[in-house]
Structure 1
Amino acid sequence: MARVGLTTQRLAQAGAELADEVGFDQVTASALARRLDVKVASLYSHVKNSEDLRTRIALVALEELADRAAAALAGRAGKDALVALANVYRDYAREHPGRYAAA
């Protein structure tokens, strides 16, 4: 039975936070289980394997980037839009290095 409060989305978000702290390459099911203080087997009720977890972290990052890009590009065109998009990527990479690596 799944642990109360443990969801696929929560695992992906916690994995994204872990990636920012230790680097995306260091995110494993074991590391995430330690962070959440659960057994590794508990994670597998929500994700298939470590690769599935890493894919879900990448999807979190891509969704966040898309949301930021949409907000930054609204009403802009041409060079102004290109500069705004570049700023979104740069700022995201600085704020969330692990997530950026995942994306």
Structure 2
Amino acid sequence: MRETTYFTLAALQHGPLHGYAIIRRVSELSSGRIRLATGTLYTALERLTTGGHIQVAAEEIVNGRARRSYELTPGGRAALEEQARVYAEAARVVTRPVVRPA
């Protein structure tokens, strides 16, 4: 899973968000490292929807335009949690003290 995908899914872990809110939340969660462009986000949302990781939670018309909110599916939550475990294990390789045999 790419880092942008991971943070996009993580942005939705506490409930549905619309596109602009996802962009802001991804930036917050990544401490500003990841700044999604609108086109990149909507391509990712389409891919994640097609892949069954997220779904449209609601759609409303705001200023004449459709605004969709997205939410994690159970499969998306499972994928996010699995990737978190992978990242945590990778971090432990670097951060845990190395005990060398005598």
The structure whose Rg is larger is: 2
TM-score, shorter chain, exceeding 0.5: no
Tell me the TM-score range normalised by the shorter chain.
0.3 to 0.5
Give the TM-score normalised by the residue count of structure 1. Answer: 0.39
Higher share in strand: 2
Higher share in helix: 1
- Determine which structure has greater relative contact order: mean sequence separation of CA pairs < 8 Å that are 6+ residues apart, divided by chain length: 1
